[in-house]
Amino acid sequence: MSGTNRSRRVFWTGNEAVVEGALAAGCSFFAGYPITPSSEVFNGLSIALPKAGGICVQMEDEIASLAAVTGASLAGRKAMTATSGPGFSLMQEGIGYAVMTETPMVIVNMMRTGPSTGQATLSGQGDFYQARYGTHGAEHEIIVLAPSTVKDCFLYTIEAFNLSERFRCPVILLGDEHVAHLRETVTLPETPAIVNRKTMGKESSPPFGFKKDPDDDNWVPPMPILGQGNRMLVTGSTHDMWGVRDTSSGHVHRKLVRRLSKKILAKQHELTRVVRTPNKNARVGLISFGSVSRAADQALAESDGNQLAHLSIGCIWPFPDEAVKEFAEDMDHILVPEMNSGMLVREVQRVLGPGKVHSYSKIGGGEPVTPRDILDIAGGLK
């Protein structure tokens, strides 16, 4: 597809859809290290990017991969990488640096079973909290999109680039092996509008460079591009509004970190991505993300008496508190199925309280949560 604006039917895997979404969004740089189950993203872009005038490079590890993506983005490229759990762990310091330097990028993590090497080819959803709190000093906010279909993989990849450019931050696409390797027929919509970087002219503000405290309510400063005549200071250390390093002032640090969070939280209502399958007769509500949402949808279709409703969460961070509250308002029970030891359920309990929230977790063996699993548990809730 290579970034064209055509509506057509395709037969893709989730990883192939990520490749096509990246091309459609204008990605022109990829650095990565092969790792199951995301390797097809690397493979696909290694063929497609050079043909489109872009660059795809294999680095020595995931630490170097994210460093290369950071440099490419600072130089004006739309840049991305793709990995899985162990590589994602290695990237955490670099993700924190990208947050602190406000460097746009997309990081794809197709989750597998852990800890450590775990079951390398099998699916899991255990990186739910790592995506949010993996960096040290994680007072900052981050944007994490969670696809549940091949179509999501295409559209959410484009959206990840758009949000990254708009908010000047890393955006994580958090899939899992089932979504990555699932193949299905998709009718693609017209390619969404593409957001490009809000850059500066060549003029610089004295005494050092551009001012990082924007005057509007977006809290996102424009981004100078290295090599285009701006005086640009880049540091992962605490810095003032001009980018000047200041590691001793509590006031400067608090002001910076609060702005890095506020630029996302101030627009949280615009970041909510949920798909609600309502049912006025439902007494049990299902809340899920990723590939488990597919099983939840099928459970609704198979349920006797149609007593279920479903909320599928497409943007898990920032967490959609208000959407969860609204969905659960008329429910007697909330069931949270997931492929980990119970992570999403903790956020749902934080929002709703523990009283009517029930967990169903399934780990190991790459075994999916099935519609029958959900129906059996839901049927026992009175």
Domain extent listing, the chain: 9-187, 275-379
Residue 115's identity, in one-letter code, is P
Write down the pLDDT at residue 2: 43
Per-residue pLDDT at 242: 83
Q: Tell me the residue type at 20.
A: E
Higher-pLDDT residue of 209 and 258 is: 258
Helices 62-74/92-101 angle, 10° precision? 20
pLDDT band per the 50, 70, 90 thresholds, residue 1 = very low
The 3-state DSSP class for residue 96 equals helix
Class of domain 9-187 (CATH, top level): alpha beta
The answer to whether 173 touches 106, Cβ cutoff 8 Å, is yes
The pLDDT, as a whole number, for residue 89 is 98
Check residue 223 and give its pLDDT.
84
Cα-Cα-Cα-Cα dihedral sign, residues 168, 170, 175, 181? positive
d(CA 84, CA 42): 12
Residue 355: predicted pLDDT: 92
CA distance 173 to 340: 18
Residue 238 above 60 pLDDT?
yes
What does pLDDT average to over the chain?
A: 92
Averaged over 302-317, what is the pLDDT? 91
**Span 91-143, pLDDT tens digits:** 999 999 999 999 999 999 999 999 999 999 999 999 999 999 999 998 999 99
Architecture of domain 275-379: 3-Layer(aba) Sandwich (3.40)
Model pLDDT, residue 228 = 77
For residue 276 the two structure tokens come to: 């609600």
Q: Which of 168-182, 232-246, 267-281 is predicted most confidently? A: 168-182
Q: What is the DSSP letter of 319?
A: -
pLDDT > 70 in the chain, percent: 93
* 171 beta partners: 106, 143
Identify the pLDDT of residue 198.
Answer: 79
Q: Estimate the share of the chain in helix, then strand, then coil, as percent rounded to the nearest 5.
A: 35, 20, 45
Whole-number percent of the chain with pLDDT over 90: 81
> In the sheet that 308-313 helps form, which strands lie side by side, from edge to edge?
274-277, 308-313, 284-289, 333-338, 357-361
**Fold match between 9-187 and 275-379?**
yes
